[in-house]
Copies of this chain bind each other. A is one copy, B any other.
């Protein structure tokens, strides 16, 4: 991972592995983060396509507007579980999910 990219992620609140295990973790760690960002992006896409506000999505998904914002922002406090549950709630199919993360 480039240092610039790492800083960018850290700035967003990601705790990237310490220098010690930098090389060990970076590959799967970055794969995991990119996966999450793909789902975030896909969620935003689905919302746009349906022309819904974050509040409306929050209703559908049974969460709050602020958490929807965090989901779309790829905040480290949101789990892949929540992203996937939300996408399914918005009508995404498993094939949609597969396409998003491939």
Contact = CB atoms under 8 A, between A and B. Distances in A.
Interface in A69-102: 79-81, 84-85, 88-89, 93-95, 97-99, 101-102
Interface of A: 28, 31-32, 34-35, 79-81, 84-85, 88-89, 93-95, 97-99, 101-102
Contacts of A99: 98
In the complex this chain forms, how many copies of it are found? 2
A31 B79 contact: no
Q: Taking chain A's interface residues, is the majority helix, strand, or loop, or is none over half, making it mixed?
A: helix
In the A-B complex, the 7 residue pairs with the smallest Cβ-Cβ separation, listed nearest first, are A98-B102, A28-B88, A98-B98, A80-B81, A79-B81, A80-B80, A31-B88
B84 A95 contact: no
A85 B94 CA distance: 19
A46 to B, nearest CB: 13
Contacts of A80: 79-81, 84
B88 A32 contact: yes
Contacts of A101: 94, 97-98
